[in-house]
Amino acid sequence: MNKTLRSAALASAMAFGAFSPVCGTAVDRTPAEEAAQSPPTQPALGVGNAQNQPRRYNPKIMVVVPETLLGRPHVPDPAGETELIRRLVEARLLVLDASEVASIRYSNEMGHIIKEADIKAMKALCSKYRCDLFVAGEAFAEQVNERPAHEVAPISARARIEVKVFIVETGEILAANAAIDGATDMTPAIAGKTALQNAAAKLAEYLVPRIQASIAEGRVAPPAPPWRAEHPPYLLYGALAGLGFLVVAAMVLATVSHRYRLVRQQAQAAAAKKQADSTLTGETYVRNKP
């Protein structure tokens, strides 16, 4: 009787899947069931699936975010821009070196692009650096409290950063947002820089997923060759046809000129021979005359 009950309990446990944790053995599953239960994997940006997905284009991104510490002189090394670049690089996106754009960060051209959203000037600038996405904006930080005299107390600062992400090829705004954050330190400059870094980190949480989604959707395509972007292909074909016509015309003209020179030389040679023959005949007649 007990043996029969144990057999029935074992059969019910196997039917409800409880046999595996009790006995420590794995339940056999078909490959289809394993694939259904396993989470889907997505290839990283810039790397395609070797079976059915092509390699994705990884666009070049240029980040230019000039920043200011209000009430203080210019402090080098923009903290907000550096933090945005760090987050983009960690997401395996291709970012231009910040040293390449250091000369234009505080230029009048850059200020014109940021304040007036001049798409034409933006395209001219980005074509110089050959970038596909342009992240541009402004950032500033300000000290909140004053340190009491003759006391060592922390300084608080608040910062705001706002940027727009442009698709250079079309001039389309891919994303735009702003973020505010604060920080505390013993020096006003470090407090302001840290506040800018914290605000940029908060902003990157919004920008990076949207940039990745746009790349995955194919909204950012490789740039067209310069001649194709400025002129339709049929103009190139017309130019080649015109060049071919000029070459053929030059060859025909050279052939006709050569033939004309040959005919003229033959005519001159025949006239000279005829004159020589006439002179010889006259001399012979005079010599033989009685």
SS3 for 139-206 is EEEEECCCCCCCCCCCEEEEEEEEEEEEECCCCEEEEEEEEEEEEEECCHHHHHHHHHHHHHHHHHHH
**What are the pLDDT digits (tens) for 148-168?**
777 778 899 999 999 999 998
Q: pLDDT band at residue 264, thresholds of 50, 70 and 90?
A: confident
114 pLDDT tier (thresholds 50, 70, 90): confident
Assess contact for 122 and 134: CB atoms under 8 A: yes
> CA angle 179-180-182, nearest 5°?
145
Beta strand spans in the chain (E): 60-64, 67-69, 94-95, 133-143, 155-167, 172-185
- What pairs with residue 156 in β-bridges? 184
Whichever domain contains 100, its CATH number is 3.40.50.10070
Q: What is the pLDDT of residue 269?
A: 84
11 within some domain: no
- One domain for residues 98 and 236: no
Residue finishing a domain among 223, 238, 265: 223
| 165 and 203 inside one domain | yes
Same-domain status, 102 and 154? yes
Q: What is the model's pLDDT at position 281?
A: 66
Q: Rounded to an integer, what distance in angstroms lies between the CA atom of residue 201 and that of residue 180?
A: 10
pLDDT tens for residues 212-257?
999 888 888 776 655 555 555 667 777 888 888 899 999 998 898 8
With vertex at residue 287, the alpha carbon angle to CA 286 and CA 290, rounded to the nearest 5 degrees, is: 80
Domain-located, residue 199: yes
Is 167 found in the same domain as 248?
no
Q: Hey, CA dihedral for 222, 228, 230, 232, is it positive or negative?
A: negative
pTM over 0.85: no
What's residue 119's pLDDT? 83
Judge if 267 and 124 occupy the same domain.
no
Percent of the chain with pLDDT over 90: 29
Domain identity same for 74 and 169: yes
pLDDT computed for residue 165 by the predictor: 93
Confidence band, pLDDT 50/70/90 cuts, at residue 110: confident
Cα–Cα distance list, 47 to 35, 58, 98, 222 (Å): 22, 9, 25, 15
Determine whether 24 is exposed, middle or buried from the number of CB atoms within 10 Å of its CB (0-12, 13-18, 19+).
exposed
Is pLDDT larger for residue 89 or for residue 101? 89
Residue 68 sits in which domain range? 60-223
- At residue 42 the predicted structure's pLDDT band, cuts being 50, 70 and 90, is very low
Query: What would the pLDDT profile of 186-219 be if each residue is shown by its tens digit?
Result: 888 899 999 999 999 999 999 999 999 998 888 8
Q: 112 with 153, same domain?
A: yes
Q: Which of 102-106, 143-147, 224-228 has the lowest mean pLDDT?
A: 224-228
Which amino acid type is present at position 155? Answer: I
Claim to verify: residue 65 and residue 207 sit in the same structural domain = yes
What mean pLDDT value characterizes the chain?
77
Nearest to 101 by CA among 53, 134, 132: 134
How many structural domains are present in the chain? 2
Residues 189, 274 within the same domain: no
